[in-house]
Structure 1
Amino acid sequence: MAILTEREPVRVWPLLMERLTADLPVDLAVLVDLDWDAGTGHALTGKPDWLYEAPLDALINTHMRVHPLLRHYASTADRTPLTLDEIADDRWWKSEAYRAGRSAIGIDRQLALPLSARTGQVRSVIMSRSGQGFTGRDLEYAGLARSLLDTVSAHEAVVRGLPALGDPAEFGITAREAAVLALLSEGLTAYAIGRRLRIAERTVVKHKENLYKKLGVHDRVTAVNRARALGLVPEEPPDGS
């Protein structure tokens, strides 16, 4: 719901990092964005919150070129989630980079979810846990999560290119109703909206009824047209169709 309704999509990423740390679980998750050609990069966001006090950017800029996972994704077209245990050799575990990372943020075992990026750049979620390695089930989850995060990244890019939208709260529209409205504008049925938001179809119908009252309309098409006129949803669906 936050992905659909957040006016500043960058705010969604901390929620995703928090979910990753809980689901796997891991000690930390960080979204990094690297300009490999320039040898620079930074951490965009992460969880838990104490990471904001850690010298992440300094670690990245000093050691990114020797990090086995980052080096692998920079030099190949591979976008498969991989672990350090699969990629690293003995030199990594004995390296200054490994010692620095473990001292600063306690990294030990790591799993990377590489996201789509422009040529010469690396964008990835790096997750770490102490001691225990990652299982086959963890890797299966990571593969599913990677696809979702790539979709979120693409959605963020689309939203950045759209005109600023109006505030649904000005019309008494709740966050959940705004999410339903956004999906209505994409042409989804009540059943499909329920599946997307993980709520019952009858709950979607109730939200639609509330939206019609608040927008002063009586049907779906008029509701979407009214919402577009008010700037509550884009003029066209995000895919441009």
Structure 2
Amino acid sequence: MVCRRTGNTFAMTALSGQDARRLHDLAMAILTEREPVRVWPLLMDRLTTDLPVDLAVLIDLDWKAGTGHAQTGSPDWLYEAPLDALIHAHMRAHPLLRHYAHTADRTPLTMDEMADDGWWKSEAYHAGKAAIGIDRQLALPLNSRPGQIRGVIMSRSGRGFTDRDLEYADLARSLLDTVAAHEKAVFGLPQLADPAEYAITPREMSVLALLDEGLTAHAIGSRLRITERTAIKHKENLYRKLRVHDRVTALKKARALGLLPG
């Protein structure tokens, strides 16, 4: 049974057996993933399928500075969308982000619950609609440092989110909040530099790690279950962010910055 807050009351409902299986499979995907750099991209893929939604994006924002980045997302075409530009230009106008920035609330909420009529007519809404087709949105706020907003924003067109979706999101949020601690405890990750400091996403770190193994773009695509074209795009983004022009220099620079172990 799941207890869901509705206004000043709590409604008790039950997820279906199929939903319980989806959550079980999601937990197992985290526990059995042998490559830590693939965990978050894998989770974004699973959320888009399980809810379902058209897209899911993991974001990390510094509210005071008005900056932030899209860390990873699904589907793959999002990596070619101007997500960081949308965040920088419109994050303070976004009703869900504004709510989480000014409260201690960590309940998954929908745009329909939080937005007034002004949002649907705003420049921010229409910019997002034009760039990535956002319409109905659901936010899963995750644990973060004071002044930061970290969470998953999911979107789909036309159809709003149901009570079942919100219940699933409540449980999925708790599961996602354990991922960082699980990675450190189970995989014994070394204390490396934070890729976010260089605007490098988890998916780009996956590509960097596989470049370090000597894999080609075709092999990277096969390993990450993405197209070769998408793998090449990630590699180009890495080179741009590291300010290099080839694989050898990229790996040397990444080690110097502490992004890869020595």
Distance 2:84 2:32 in 1: 30
**What is the 5 A alignment of 1:1-241?**
3-4=30-31, 6=33, 9-158=36-185, 162-163=189-190
**Code of the aligned partner of 1:42:** H
User: 1:76-99, CA deviations, whole angstroms, 9 ceiling, x for partnerless residues?
Assistant: 100000000000001111100000
In 1, Cα distance between the equivalents of 2:31 and 2:75? Answer: 24
User: How many angstroms apart in 2 are the aligned matches of 1:153 and 1:25?
Assistant: 24
Mapped to 2, the partners of 1:51 and 1:99 lie a distance apart of: 17
Matches of 1:128 and 1:107, distance apart in 2:
6
- Over alpha carbons, which structure has the higher Rg? 1
> Does the Cα contact within 8 Å between 1:80 and 1:143 map onto a contact in 2?
yes
1:14 deviation in Å?
1.0
Matching residue's letter, 2:151: S
* 2:22 counterpart residue number: none
Q: Any conservation in 1 of the 2:183–2:189 contact (CA below 8 Å)?
A: no
Q: What is the TM-score with the length of structure 1 in the denominator?
A: 0.64
Partner AA of 1:123 in structure 2: R
Question: Deviation of residue 11 (structure 1)?
Answer: 1.7
What amino acid is aligned across from residue 64 of structure 1 in structure 2? M
Query: For the residues of structure 2 that align with 1:17 and 1:2, how far apart are their CA atoms?
Result: 12
Point out where structure 1 has 5 or more consecutive residues left out of the alignment: 165-241
Count of paired positions: 164
1:4 positional shift: 3.8
Contact 2:141 2:151 in 1 (8 A): yes
Gapped regions of structure 2 (runs ≥ 5): 1-27, 192-262
The one-letter code matched in structure 2 to 1:130 is S
Instruction: Using structure 2 for the length normalisation, give the TM-score.
Output: 0.59
Q: Distance in 2 between matches of 1:9 and 1:65?
A: 32
Alpha-carbon separation, structure 2, partners of 1:76 and 1:42: 21
Moved >3 Å (runs of 4+) = 1-8, 156-164
RMSD: 1.8
Q: What secondary structure, in the 3-state scheme, does the structure 2 residue paired with 1:74 have?
A: helix
Is 2:135–2:155's contact at 8 Å kept on the other side of the alignment?
yes
Structure 1 residues 133 and 58: CA distance shift in structure 2, 3 A: same
SS of equivalent residue, structure 2 residue 153? strand
Amino acid at match of 1:145: A
Percent of aligned pairs with the same amino acid: 82
For residues 147 and 88 of structure 2, the distance between their equivalents in structure 1, rounded to whole angstroms, comes to: 15
Q: How far 1:115 moved relative to its partner?
A: 0.2
Shift of 1:7: 6.1
Distance 1:63 1:13 in 2: 24
